[in-house]
């Protein structure tokens, strides 16, 4: 139990994955590895397919899971080399699959700015391929991972993920007589994941750096732990009817406060915002507010196009937010302090 009410437990409701065949794209990434470890420890899935294009990461992950504490649960694992850009390979991988978690993406903001065509091929065309493969193979549920950068995007990564989100929401119009349903999860920076500022700061601290680089003293971000992200995906999976975008209620922290919390005696220097970066992130824009409802631990953006009745889509106990509502990292009601950040790191 967290000592801070804003560091929430997102593990309820519980998804029903016993006996299911599950595929995760980008399955060797930080999220994918944590997700796979969680579901094989909590559930008894029939099959878990790790779909990714990096053979070394797959080999390492297979070795770790088959020789570690979860070795007795690892018999359901299948490692499938493939790229979401390859539509035929996706269709082959999804045969007999019940549930898909789409986590594959090019995620580094400056890299996407410099390599726009590659970003589009993976994040947009890859999303289209996942949708088509899921419909053709009669997958029951698809949940796609998004990012706070997809709301009111100013960089290519965010714009490509917004396009991806739109593809997955609209896919519910395309599934026709099948039972395939698509939804989206959107959350903020994962504490300690690859690409996060936290391990970068820690590396500098361990190397006895004289100061920490800060892009802008005003910059704020949403923060979530990796396990919270996995639990939020699983609970959203249990709630999804199709077309929703699920957004967790998580705390904010400024970059200067992150640096001060990790190294209170270390100086900071401003290096400037990188190409495509925002000062603050948004997860629900004012234009999304008219379709957004609130639960105790999350917001849900309901689809603007209602292919099912409102009663089918509505979550129990959810209430609409105000018409001028926005959920942004600088105007958040919940803020991390140094103790809260340490608690998240300890988790």
d(CA 163, CA 89): 22
- Output the pLDDT for position 184: 98
Q: What percent of the chain has pLDDT over 70?
A: 97
Asked whether the predicted pLDDT for residue 55 surpasses 60, the reply is yes
Residue 292 and residue 325 in contact, taking contact as beta carbons nearer than 8 Å: yes
Residue 62: how many CA atoms within 13 Å on its side-chain side? 18
Beta bridge partners of 268: 212
91 is a catalytic site residue:
no
- Does residue 326 register a pLDDT over 90? yes
Question: CB of 226 within 8 A of CB of 189?
Answer: no
Kindly report the backbone phi and psi dihedral angles of residue 75, in degrees, each rounded to the nearest multiple of 5, phi listed first. Answer: -65, -20
Through-space distance between the first and last CA atoms of the chain, rounded to whole angstroms: 11
Distance CA 329, CA 147 (A): 13
Sequence-distant (6+) residues with CB within 8 A of 226 are: 30, 31, 34, 190, 191, 192, 193
Catalytic residue among 20, 33, 107, 149: 149
Query: Confidence class of residue 71 from pLDDT cuts 50, 70 and 90?
Result: very high
How do residues 208-229 score in pLDDT, each as one tens digit?
A: 999 999 999 999 999 999 999 9
> Taking a C-beta distance cutoff of 8 angstroms, is the pair 266, 202 a contact?
no
Q: Which two tokens stand for residue 274?
A: 């990188």
Binned at pLDDT 50, 70 and 90, residue 205 comes out as very high
Average pLDDT over residues 41-64: 96
CA distance 150 to 160: 8
Report the 10 Å Cβ neighbour count for 49.
Answer: 24
C-alpha gyration radius of the chain: 20
pLDDT digits (tens, 9 = 90+) for 134-185: 999 999 999 999 999 999 999 999 999 999 999 999 999 988 778 899 999 9
Angle, vertex CA 235, rays to CA 290 and CA 319, nearest 5: 30
Distance CA 268, CA 185 (A): 34
- pLDDT surpasses 80 at 319: yes
Q: What is the CATH number of domain 83-188+226-249+282-327?
A: 3.40.50.720
* Per-residue pLDDT at 176: 74
């Amino acid at each position: 139990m967290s000592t801070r009410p804003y560091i929430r437990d997102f593990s309820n409701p519980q998804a029903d994955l016993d006996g299911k065949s599950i595929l995760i794209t980008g399955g060797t990434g930080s999220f994918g590895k944590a997700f796979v470890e969680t579901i094989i420890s909590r559930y008894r899935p029939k099959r878990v397919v790790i779909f990714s294009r990096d053979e070394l990461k797959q080999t390492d992950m297979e070795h770790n899971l088959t020789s570690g504490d979860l070795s007795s649960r690892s018999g359901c694992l299948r490692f499938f080399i493939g790229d979401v850009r390859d539509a035929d390979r996706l269709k082959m991988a999804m045969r007999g699959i019940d549930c898909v978690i789409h986590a594959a993406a090019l995620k580094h903001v400056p890299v996407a700015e410099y390599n726009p065509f590659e970003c589009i091929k993976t994040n947009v065309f890859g999303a289209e391929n996942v949708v088509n493969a899921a419909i053709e193979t009669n997958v029951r549920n698809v949940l796609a991972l998004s990012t706070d950068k997809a709301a009111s995007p100013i960089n290519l990564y965010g714009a490509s993920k917004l396009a991806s989100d739109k593809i997955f929401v609209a896919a519910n119009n395309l599934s026709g007589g099948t039972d395939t349903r698509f939804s989206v999860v959107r959350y903020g920076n994962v504490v300690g994941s690859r690409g996060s500022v936290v391990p970068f700061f820690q590396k500098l601290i361990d190397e006895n750096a004289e100061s920490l680089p800060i892009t802008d003293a005003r910059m704020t971000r949403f923060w979530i732990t990796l396990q919270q992200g996995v639990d939020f995906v699983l609970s959203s999976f249990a709630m999804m009817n199709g077309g929703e975008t699920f957004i967790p209620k998580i705390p904010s922290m400024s970059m200067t406060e992150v640096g001060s919390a990790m190294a209170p005696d270390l100086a900071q220097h401003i290096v400037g915002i990188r190409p495509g970066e925002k000062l603050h992130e948004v997860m629900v824009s004012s234009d999304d507010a008219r379709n957004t409802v609130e639960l105790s631990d999350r917001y849900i953006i309901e689809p603007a196009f209602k292919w099912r009745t409102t009663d089918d889509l509505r979550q129990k106990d959810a209430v609409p937010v105000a018409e001028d509502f926005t959920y942004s990292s600088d105007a958040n009601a919940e803020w991390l302090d140094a103790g809260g950040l340490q608690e998240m790191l300890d988790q």
